[in-house]
Structure 1
């Protein structure tokens, strides 16, 4: 990615580290390719996206047990929120409960806003705190006032950080409109976040992906965590589609594990969502697809998923590592 790539290459070389770069996908030609690379090159500092962990969870127990991952000292992730199941799997199976699994959240335009560290306690899916100098806060999306413990709000910066961009190329007004105009005086990161009583921070997904179902709001990540918690899936994405009664209805597109009985799984997955969030969020459709469209750094493209499902123009697909997934979604809709 535009942020992690330069940090890895320049940061790694500046401190005298050897940087391991591998072309292609982390699970091809072998499903455990990433872990073979760690073993072969004795990787000590591993960066990964939660998606890669979810893909690896489908590996047979013996496949991971055969890999020597004892060189690992730190794992750090970014790009999307963790699900609890994937975080625990990575911490326990890959890191053997001895390797810190740190969260980092930032963006091309501003560097980092939340992070974990090796000197703070760990909690599943959490960040230890704000990056110094950002004035990070969680605020009400309407008023900009700070919200309390356990309340989900917009993640913002109150202080312009040293890493903040000054504008977009030949489009300064768009920059100001996108980041500084929604809540005057605050940089709006575009993610929902919260803090707990121990001072740990959590990111709950993009605020512009919010689903409003029958007057109730939630983020796709909350629904996806419930789906993944069934243990039946390798991956899942939730989108909102127009509904004449609710305004928006939930559609879940899922990548099943090889041993999953898909006919039975539909009911189990739907029940998991309603049990966790209530009947209003019962999925209108639970659909199985072979894969989900992702960029080369494995970031899920929700915009593309929704456009493909609705039969709309999906836009520029040149950054996708698996453009064939878009056509598969269109075919599943028919």
Structure 2
């Protein structure tokens, strides 16, 4: 089992905040990218670290969950509880509150895109970006919640991991996971449009899939790294040096698939005073921040025409507040049913 005294909740909070930073630039109509994009000559943005950090942690924790789950129904039940309750609520709130920012000659209730917004987005794979007449005057037009694009890839990773259930007790599982990493690394860098047509049928981009898969599997591989604290500290230092040097040499796209998983998981597994209490203090607010921040920012831009700095200053605390509410009122309560299938199985024995 993973100790609860770790830095993962803090890291997820940081990664969610990174996404808010990058979106502040895009949604305010800034002519340039965020500070990290400018500093790295466009090699990465804060949202790059945020999204990929999420996938690395997810790969690490979800793979561990698979290794100890009672069966595939139990595995999928827990994944569905983690994703869908909060997503469904944010979609319903979007449709319910959208009339406040609606501008169209067509009455809201006669707009067909209103009625397709929830059904399409709840499928994950056939996302509807907006509702006609909503945010069409904003600098970033038509999209209500651009953050949702990653959730279909996240769920795709769950499906991929679940296929390993049948060989999870085999000695060659490490080899299979390593081959998955090598293949996703090769496809992402050298053949990102392999099977592009097949992915497009599910409205997935093959390039995004291979890229995110490589980080996700990088997190999975980290479950096999069993070292002492001194070795982990050395790896953190070396990875940091390689990461920074790679950015300076403009080759970070070759090295980040290795350096970022090492840094994220080793820092996450650590238990730093105060940082390791974030989850106990405010809960795991990261998913809520992630799915609410984009519509919050679009709404602030619509009503107040905020510049980049003001948009970030006002949207981050609002996003954290809604993330807090989402965790305590929806996500945490939903996860209270995570052992429901296991309990039913015991009662029927």
For the aligned pair, the TM-score class normalised by the smaller chain equals under 0.3
| TM-score normalised by structure 1 residue count | 0.28
| TM-score normalised by structure 2 residue count | 0.27
Q: Which has the higher helix share?
A: 2
Q: Kindly indicate whether structure 1 or structure 2 has the higher relative contact order, using CA contacts under 8 Å at least 6 residues apart.
A: 2
